[in-house]
A and B are shown apart, each in its own frame.
Chain A
Amino acid sequence: MPRGPRQLAGRDVAARLGAALPAAVAGATDERVDIAALSIVEALRWLRDDAELDAAQLSNLCAVDRYDHFEVVYHLQSLDRNHQIVVHARVEDYLEPELPSCYPVYRGALLQEREVYDLMGVRFTGHPDLRRLFLWDGYPGFPLRKDFLQIGGHHPGLPGFPFETAGRQQR
């Protein structure tokens, strides 16, 4: 089951997309469609222009650091049909991550791709104005990457957490 209340099942989207652009679909689960990185612009354009899927708006764009690769996540939505489509693109090259920019399809990517570049270091080729957004030029590194310094506090992956078993119900 997809999690979002109005989210389309990834497998259904992948079946329709795969019929039109067989090379673009790299996999699918209920929650999302995985798109081959090099076909991402073509696939997003098809999703936007298809009458039934009608992904008119790029609602959210962000990236996730998976230690050995990056995932760029697109949340698309149709305002007329009121549904949501979640698309993932896997960027294999961890040292020099690059992905085609979807700005030609969605102008809403202008600042969101700049933000991903600024904080995660994924270069969007073809972006008209790819610069740092929040940090200044020459800032060392990309802070949202997992290998960027972690400051104090609670680190994910620690075995336990104080009070975790004290009196509260366990899930």
Chain B
Amino acid sequence: MTTASDPYVLNIGPQHPSTHGVFRLRVVMDGEHLQDVDMVVGYLHRSMEKLAEERTYAQNIPFTDRTDYLAAMSNNLGYCLAAELLAGVEVPERASYLRVIFAELQRIASHSMANGTFINDAGAWQTPLMYMFREREKILDLFEMTCGARLTTNYMRIGGVAFEPPPEFYPAVDALVAELPDRIGEYTELLVDNEILLARARDVGVLSPADAINASITGPVLRASGVPWDLRKAEPYCAYDRFDFGIPVGHHGDCYDRFLVRLEEMRQSVRIIRQALDGLPSGAHKTEIPLALRPEPGEAYARVEGPRGELGFYVVSDGGPAPFRFHIRAPSLINLSLLREMAVGSSLPDAIVTLGSLDIVVGEIDR
């Protein structure tokens, strides 16, 4: 005997642990399988692009913290690079190195959260997440001692960084960099060959390289599909061309590969931080720029390899003290372009794992 049910609509979220924020999936279910997926976003829309048109270039830096609140440093950096490109501001060597150190610390913190919550979605409730929070806490402590804030750092400035790190920063970051490879080794032992994780994530949410490229997907999700594309190598900004590091890529393009790519990127980030600390030049940490920067009319698009992918800032100037147009290319949003293709036909638990592996941050999706 078989039983059948009519398709029904299920709302996942907006308040649900597996959506990682205020994000709603409206799915049409046929039994346990998805017939259609529609995402409903906008609950966190704060119209940052509009607000930015009424504030000066420097006043816009704190807004960028609040888009992707798990990677504020990367957002600060991307915006400052765009404003510098537009206004032709030179950045001192030391500031570039400090930017690299903080952006890579931020990447480790963000990937810890990404992997921790992904494992959470896959069924290992909270334990691995708490392990990864341990390292993230130490990184946030370093941010706090440098710029006073843990999440909304507001640390980068147009022309450099806001503050020199205090003297106690260096021993603390040395200790952390020495300790991190062991910690990442712990996760590897605990998780990489874990049978449950393999059963939940292997061959789930597969994305082919051609689809990923055509659908503008970037970051660890693109690299897990086997495309070795990383803006730190392709278009080296700050001082990335001076460091030796690898770009991990996956082979299957499934959720498990995305997890592995993020884990390996954390290791590579530790290498970059070590080299940047060793080679940290002396000198000024920022260039003095006019308080009200008035770039020549024109446009600039600068991008960085954020933890979630290509994080771009498109800034247009009309010669005034505020941007004429300010657009954030949000990788969290654009990586969802193929969500329907990846999720339709799969079972509901697989769809949740797929969504978790994309590592979305709703503040960045909605802006």
Asked if A and B bind, the verdict is: yes
The 3 closest A-B pairs by CB, nearest first: A108-B216, A134-B42, A153-B54
Assembled-state Cα–Cα distance A57/B210 (Å): 10
**B214 and A56 within 8 A (CB):** yes
**A163 and B294 within 8 A (CB):** no
**B54 and A6 within 8 A (CB):** no
Q: Interface size for chain B: under 10, 10 to 19, 20 to 34, or 35 or more residues? A: 35 or more
- Which A residues are in CB contact (< 8 Å) with B50? 143-144, 148
**B337 and A59 within 8 A (CB):** no
| A134-171 CB contacts (< 8 Å) to partner B | 134-136, 143-144, 148, 150-158, 161, 163-164, 168-171
The stretch of A14-22, A90-98, A111-119 in contact with B is A111-119
Assembled-state Cα–Cα distance A120/B288 (Å): 36
**A154 and B216 within 8 A (CB):** no
- Which A residues are in CB contact (< 8 Å) with B290? 164, 168-171
**A135 and B312 within 8 A (CB):** no
- Which B residues are in CB contact (< 8 Å) with A86? 301
**CB of B215 within 8 Å of the partner chain:** yes
How many A-B contacts if CB must be within 8 Å?
141
**Residue in A6, A148, A157 whose CB lies within 8 Å of B235:** A6
With A134-B45, A150-B54, A154-B321 known as contacts, the answer to whether A58 contacts B216 (CB < 8 A) is yes
**CB of A26 within 8 Å of the partner chain:** no
| B267-298 CB contacts (< 8 Å) to partner A | 288-294, 298
| Shortest CB distance B225–A (Å) | 12
| Shortest CB distance A101–B (Å) | 14
With A107-B338, A136-B42 known as contacts, the answer to whether A60 contacts B312 (CB < 8 A) is yes
**B214 and A57 within 8 A (CB):** yes
**Residue in B211, B213, B218, B337 whose CB lies within 8 Å of A110:** B337
Q: Interface size for chain A: under 10, 10 to 19, 20 to 34, or 35 or more residues? A: 35 or more
Which of B85, B216, B329, B334 has most chain A Cβ within 10 Å? B216
10 A-B pairs with C-beta separation under 8 A: A4-B235, A60-B327, A62-B329, A64-B325, A73-B299, A108-B337, A119-B49, A134-B366, A143-B50, A156-B53
The SS class assigned to the A binding surface is loop
**A157 and B229 within 8 A (CB):** no
With A75-B314, A133-B42 known as contacts, the answer to whether A57 contacts B235 (CB < 8 A) is no
With A56-B213, A156-B53 known as contacts, the answer to whether A133 contacts B41 (CB < 8 A) is yes
- Which B residues are in CB contact (< 8 Å) with A60? 301, 312, 314, 327, 329
| B206-236 CB contacts (< 8 Å) to partner A | 211, 213-218, 227, 229, 234-235
